[in-house]
Structure 1
Amino acid sequence: MSVVSELKSRIAAGELASDQSQLDAAKQLDELLLLLSSRSIEFRNFRLRPTFMKGLYLWGGVGRGKSMLMDWFFDMAVVREKKRVHFHSFMLLVHSRINHWRKFGKGDPIKPVAEEIARESKLLCFDEFHVTDITDAMILSRLFEVLWRKDIVVVATSNRAPEELYKNGLNRSLFLPFIPMMHAHLKIYEFGGDTDHRLRQLQAAPVYYSPLGSKSEAAIDEAWQRLTGAARGHETILRIQGRNLVISQTAAGTARTTFNYLCARALGAADYLKLSHAFQTLILENVPKLGAHNRNEAKRFVTLIDTLYETKTKLIISAEVEPHDLYNKGDGAFEFERTSSRLMEMRSAEYLSQRRVLTEGQG
């Protein structure tokens, strides 16, 4: 099995549209699969130091299929110690280990932390590689210098070219040495064209399913399959004001979770904003009928929808009733009318085709 054969199989089945940029990227990933397989055999049989191998940096507009292809590559890679992670979650792990080292160790923590990561994973696949935090920008060169010296192979997806990363960021001069390092250790592949395959998949079927039941569950499962290329999904950790928000099922720029998880807990606008910046699409399941009996949950739901709407994040939802019936009686019903209207608009082709609105520096 290869990434190219998987892609061609999906195209033949009518699940995906043919795209030369995807095919070319798949060929690059297959070349790396072969090199990884050869390295594994050489290292196992002769215990030689692995030969230098460039990883891949896949970048281009949203919905181009970057994450889907990388997920297939990751599953096919004949590497025992491998890790596939959202880049934001990876950097949270790095900072956590740095803080732990500073408490219990001596000297500069970057090198020992990087060496620890290198012992755990010989292949690192990063989704959504973007840099917005100065604390990340300041350590990337030193961190990856060690990882690449340890012959760790890196594959990453991003919406930005290397030269555009951390653009206009504070003290960007501290980050700039990382860019030539990327070019030295990664093949840079740009997805040409502007076809948004995610948009095509979103427009191919409804995005609001009601009532709840086996049919809506099956429809949500099918939507996940379409948007992620049938990816298994992985956990992503988002750090917000010292707290972690763990999304257990994510892939290809899509997060899947439930109403109870996002709205029945003490979450707020900062959490929802972080979520909307991390993912292009949110699949939200099992939204109940709302009213005075669950007013707090309803308020959080309003905040969530407002945030998704303002950032133009796409929403696929399963709910007990249609938007105009979600909260149509009792105290708070009048205030909910705007949310009902926005839910209706978020189903439209016009909304789905809009470009996302993110803060400066978001990838």
Structure 2
Amino acid sequence: MSEWMRHTLNRFAQPVTSADPELLQVFNAQAAARGYTLSAGQQRVIQAMAERLVDRHKGKVRGLYIHGAVGRGKSWLLDGFYQALAEPGKRRLHFHDFFARLHQGMFRHRENADALAVTLDELLGDCRVLCFDEFHVHDIGDAMLLKRLFSALFERHILVVLTSNYAPAQLLPNPLYHERFLPVIELIGERMQVLELDGDTDFRSLPANHAHQRFTRGHYLYPGTCEQRERLNVPLPSPCTLHVNRRPLRALACEPGQVMFAFDDLCQQPTAVIDYLVLARDHPRWIIDGLDDLNECSLAAQQRFVNLVDVLYDQDIEVLVIGRKPLAESLDGGLADLMRTRSRLGQLQQVG
């Protein structure tokens, strides 16, 4: 991020009465460098980000909830905002990661009268601006904790800026649980500006974006013949056991810089986001072998695969997925979140 952009966002921490158009100019320049023009929706989000910083300086902390379809630039805007913000107490977290660590910490401090507060002290410290990417809710247990979490963040006067594929009212759509989640939706509406990022362009599909990501240099390979594997330097299976978060996990091969897993070992077994994060830290290239039709898998396995792709994309891991069918025939399933997975895997180079 340029010094000019840092200087611009520094100015938004000063006492001004309205958002300066220079921030929009900076993002326009960043977009132009990638070969595209900001959409009207992206411009509205940038304006809202600037206004939230202005209000924060005045002591009026109100969060920003950005939602919209996949590929509209939500994560790119959030990253640009975070990178440019001259605020020592800032954190940018993938929501999967944060929530997994929150659960672990609260279990560890379960004997404490306020395990949530102690855990937040550990995870966030003196955080004043918190950026969450890919916020969504699937589990009613998580949903009940979210009310306490958001209340605690707002009580600490933390500016929360988050992205989601879903409007607040669309979170936890299961009719068996949705009514119990309404207090969280109401709290978000009261304490955050909710803004839809719309538009017709899928910015992830633009060629200029591929040069900036390792993930998009990866491949989707089917049906995985010996000749195809040799061409892409897929190692021969040499099964081994990795120990991840004190649990054994079978790998098909593990070499310096890369790891290969069978789809079933990663997604048909009770693995978790925190496991993928640990593995992503140690292995910059992944091979996932044996993807078939997700529609034939349980919803739990589908959700693990969605979570896995989210982590690999967010951590910018080069990935090779070996399927038994073309990609378009492999990603059917009952989860709404699979639309994000289709978008992300659709950026891989397809070989078949």
Shift of 1:11: 3.9
Are the equivalent residues in 2 in contact too, given 1:282–1:315 (CA < 8 A)? no
Are the equivalent residues in 2 in contact too, given 1:55–1:154 (CA < 8 A)? yes
Shift of 1:7: 1.7
Between stretches 137-146 and 303-312, larger displacement belongs to 303-312
SS of 1:175's equivalent? helix
Give distance in 1, aligned partners of 2:218 and 2:170. 36
Matching of residues 1-363 of structure 1 within 5 Å: 1=5, 2=8, 3-13=23-33, 15-36=35-56, 38=57, 51-102=59-110, 105-117=111-123, 119-168=125-174, 170-201=176-207, 241-243=270-272, 244-246=275-277, 257-259=284-286, 262=288, 270=301, 272-276=305-309, 285=318, 301-302=322-323, 309-310=330-331, 312=342, 313-316=344-347, 343-344=351-352
Give distance in 2, aligned partners of 1:279 and 1:208. 11
Number of the residue aligned with 1:293: none
Give distance in 2, aligned partners of 1:76 and 1:284. 23
Between stretches 62-71 and 269-278, larger displacement belongs to 269-278
Shift of 1:180: 1.3
Give distance in 1, aligned partners of 2:93 and 2:76. 13
Give distance in 2, aligned partners of 1:106 and 1:34. 37
Between stretches 192-201 and 150-159, larger displacement belongs to 192-201
Between stretches 183-192 and 204-213, larger displacement belongs to 204-213
| Cα 1:77–1:155 shift into 2, 3 Å | same
Shift of 1:88: 1.2
Shift of 1:13: 3.8
| Cα 1:84–1:207 shift into 2, 3 Å | closer
Are the equivalent residues in 1 in contact too, given 2:130–2:160 (CA < 8 A)? yes
Shift of 1:107: 3.3
**TM-score under structure 2 normalisation?**
0.61
Shift of 1:86: 1.0
| Cα 1:117–1:195 shift into 2, 3 Å | same
Are the equivalent residues in 1 in contact too, given 2:280–2:315 (CA < 8 A)? no
Identical-residue share of aligned pairs (%): 28
Give distance in 2, aligned partners of 1:308 and 1:247. 30
Computed over aligned residues only, the root mean square deviation of the Cα atoms, in angstroms, reads: 4.1
Give distance in 2, aligned partners of 1:281 and 1:308. 24
Shift of 1:305: 7.9
2:72 partner letter: R
SS of 1:79's equivalent? coil
Query: Structure 2: any 5+ residue segments left out of the alignment?
Result: 9-22, 220-227, 234-265, 290-296, 332-337
Give distance in 2, aligned partners of 1:27 and 1:168. 34
SS of 1:177's equivalent? helix
Residue correspondences, number? 262
Are the equivalent residues in 2 in contact too, given 1:257–1:285 (CA < 8 A)? yes
Are the equivalent residues in 1 in contact too, given 2:135–2:164 (CA < 8 A)? yes
Shift of 1:272: 3.9
Shift of 1:159: 0.9
Give distance in 2, aligned partners of 1:19 and 1:31. 19
Shift of 1:116: 4.6
Shift of 1:76: 1.7
Give distance in 1, aligned partners of 2:170 and 2:75. 19
| Cα 1:16–1:308 shift into 2, 3 Å | farther
Number of the residue aligned with 1:225: none
Q: Deviations over 1:309-359 (max 9, x none)?
A: 4253425558xxxxxxxxxxxxxxxxxxxxxxx734xxxxxxxxxxxxxxx
**TM-score under structure 1 normalisation?**
0.60
Shift of 1:14: 5.5
Are the equivalent residues in 2 in contact too, given 1:282–1:314 (CA < 8 A)? no
| Cα 1:115–1:184 shift into 2, 3 Å | farther
Give distance in 2, aligned partners of 1:246 and 1:281. 10
SS of 2:276's equivalent? strand
Shift of 1:200: 3.3
Query: Structure 1: any 5+ residue segments left out of the alignment?
Result: 40-50, 214-237, 251-255, 264-268, 288-299, 319-341, 345-363
Shift of 1:285: 4.1
Give distance in 2, aligned partners of 1:78 and 1:125. 14
Give distance in 2, aligned partners of 1:315 and 1:190. 24
| Cα 1:72–1:108 shift into 2, 3 Å | same
SS of 2:132's equivalent? strand
